Structure 1
Amino acid sequence: MIWTPSHEAGDLKTLSFTVRPSSPSDTDRLVDIWRGAVDATHDFLDPGDRQAIETEVRAFFPTANFQVAVDSQDVPLGFMLLNDAHLEALFISPDRRGQGIGKLLMQRAMGAHEVLTVDVNEQNVHALGFYERLGFEITGRSSIDGQGRSYPLLHMQLASHHR
């Protein structure tokens, strides 16, 4: 699928991209995207936790089945990971934020599932706002993240009748 987003008046940028499955050769670029996105939006992370999480990410990424948004030269711009109807990851290169890549990836996920869930770090106000604009609602809260670290998560859900 090739997609060219519509832009606000005065925005002369044009971006076309396709979505494809990831391959192990994407790992370095996807880790770079993850790192840049986390550094731009997760300023609440303790530096030691941030490094530990990156080590976990680097070990996991080569075997993960991401959906990757790529430009016309097949350079990854962003990616998502679904586990059934739960969004495990959505990361967009910081220099590509606001260009419709995350929205398109989410539209693909929403089109594939009647109900879609996601967990968002409570302190990540950018992600929280993004999911709320798509129609997700908070359904619960955990005081720790999935690895037991003290970063509260908001559990969110989008049902098909909200689309």
Structure 2
Amino acid sequence: MTVPATRRISNYKSKMGQIMIRIRKSTQADGARVLDIWRNAVDATHHFLSDDDRRAIEAEVVAFLPGAPLDLAVDEADRAIGFMLLDGSHMEALFVDPAHHGAGVGRLLVEDALKRHPDLSTDVNEQNESAAGFYERLGFERTGRSALDGQGRAYPLIHLRYRAASPSSPQHA
């Protein structure tokens, strides 16, 4: 078995204690764990979804996500604890296992994406203000709003783009 290439290793303190996190590309073997992360994260943060929409979205995710080219944040045991999906310089998805929320996993993934795409953009559900706040704390600015999500559902999206920080700004201190 070959080990997927690692781009970055960081030491983070999570709710589970001190852990080493590295970022690697996903493989087919990660599919079930990635779906678990998605389900748990959505259950923890997307309370605004109707039951019908939640089920419909999950069906779409189950059909797509396990084979998608994801960047995974993994712990010392190579267990995925978060993931992101990039489409060029647009972050289509970022989900972190709720057991690791607030531990810097999402930040690590975003920082990795910014190294490759300094003009990174993303969208968040308007009802998920904590996600919008997370990106704004990392230096993203709101650039617009759509009344519907990407599938035409009535879940408005906030569009965000990273603004390059000056060398003296807090993000580079």
Please give the alpha-carbon distance, in whole angstroms, between the structure 2 residues aligned to 1:28 and 1:153: 28
Q: Show CA shifts across 1:110-158 (max 9, x none).
A: 1111311001000001111100100111110000000000000000111
- Pairs within 5 Å for 1:102-141: 102-141=106-145
Structure 2 residues not aligned, in runs of 5+: 1-7
Q: Which residue of 2 aligns with 1:76?
A: 80
* Letter of the structure 1 residue corresponding to residue 20 of structure 2: S
- Counterpart residue type for residue 106 of structure 1: V
User: 1:6 & 1:72 partners in 2: Cα distance?
Assistant: 13
Report the CA distance shift for 1:135/1:2 in structure 2 as closer, same or farther (over 3 A): same
Residue 99 (structure 2) pairs with residue 95 (structure 1): yes
**How much has 1:6 moved relative to structure 2?**
6.5
- 2:38 paired residue number: 34
Corresponding residue of 2:148 = 144
Question: Which amino acid in structure 2 is aligned with residue 108 of structure 1?
Answer: D
Match of 1:20 among 24, 30, 42: 24
Contact kept in structure 2, 1:120 and 1:153, CA below 8 Å: yes
Q: TM-score, normalised by structure 1?
A: 0.93
Deviation of 1:12 after TM superposition, in Å, equals 9.1
Question: Is the partner of 1:151 in helix, strand or coil?
Answer: coil
Runs (4+) off by over 2 Å: 159-163
Deviation string 1:71-114 (CA, Å, 9 cap, x unpaired) is 11111000001100000000000011111110000001111113
Measure how far apart 1:13 and its partner are: 2.5
Counterpart contact for 1:33–1:92, Cα < 8 Å: yes
Q: Which runs of 5+ in 1 are unaligned?
A: none
Q: Shift of the alpha carbon at 1:2?
A: 2.1
Q: Is the Cα contact below 8 Å between 1:15 and 1:99 reproduced in 2?
A: no
Q: Distance in 2 between matches of 1:149 and 1:104?
A: 30
Tell me the secondary structure at the aligned position of residue 5 of structure 1.
strand
The CA RMSD over aligned residues, in Å, is 1.6
Give the length in aligned residue pairs.
160
- Distance in structure 2 (CA, Å) of the matches to 1:88 and 1:132: 17
1:22, 1:6 → 2: CA distance?
Answer: 23
